[in-house]
Amino acid sequence: MVEAKEEKIEVPREIEEYLKTHDISYVDVYKLIDKYLDLHAKSLELQRQVEYWKTQYILLEESFKHVNAEMMGLLEAKFSVKELAQQHFLVFASQFHDLDEAVKYAFGRRFNVPWSHVVALVAIVTPFAFFYGMKDWLMVPQNQLFFLILMAILFSIAYYSKGRR
């Protein structure tokens, strides 16, 4: 069995005097010093966290005061929200000297879908898709004539709708 050696640690004079009058070993003192250093490190970490949360509290309190003052200003304002929006929009429109230009600038160009072209394209593609599976149906001369008349009508609608613009 190996016996543990007691190492000599530099101990302050007060602790030396305490050790002479009480029965405690240097190893126990070393353990207590380690425990003290660990607790001191934890204490420093907790103090750092306290400072961090204090700054967070101060920042939140300042932002709360700012938002509260802004809300009170809105509530005590002369204008309602609708009147305020109208006033801002009129100022915006006066900068552009035209209401349409202000709307274009504010909301961007609208993507205008040519619905007449979409309907004509769908009307042209639908018979081809429908009759593709019915090749037997197109073998009858009356059906071929019906199909050609239908295509002529659809192409003329597309042509005249484009020509009117």
More confident: 130 or 45 = 45
Residue ranges in 22-78 assigned as alpha helix (H): 26-76
Region 55-79: mean pLDDT is 85
| Cβ neighbours of 21 (radius 10 Å) | 7
pLDDT recorded at residue 3: 57
pLDDT recorded at residue 26: 74
Question: What does the domain layout of the chain look like in residue ranges?
Answer: 13-67, 78-112, 115-163
Question: Rounded to whole angstroms, what are the CA distances from 12 to 6, 16, 112, 143?
Answer: 17, 6, 88, 115
C-alpha to C-alpha distance for 134 and 129, rounded to whole angstroms: 10
Q: What is the pTM of this model?
A: 0.33
C-alpha to C-alpha distance for 100 and 13, rounded to whole angstroms: 90
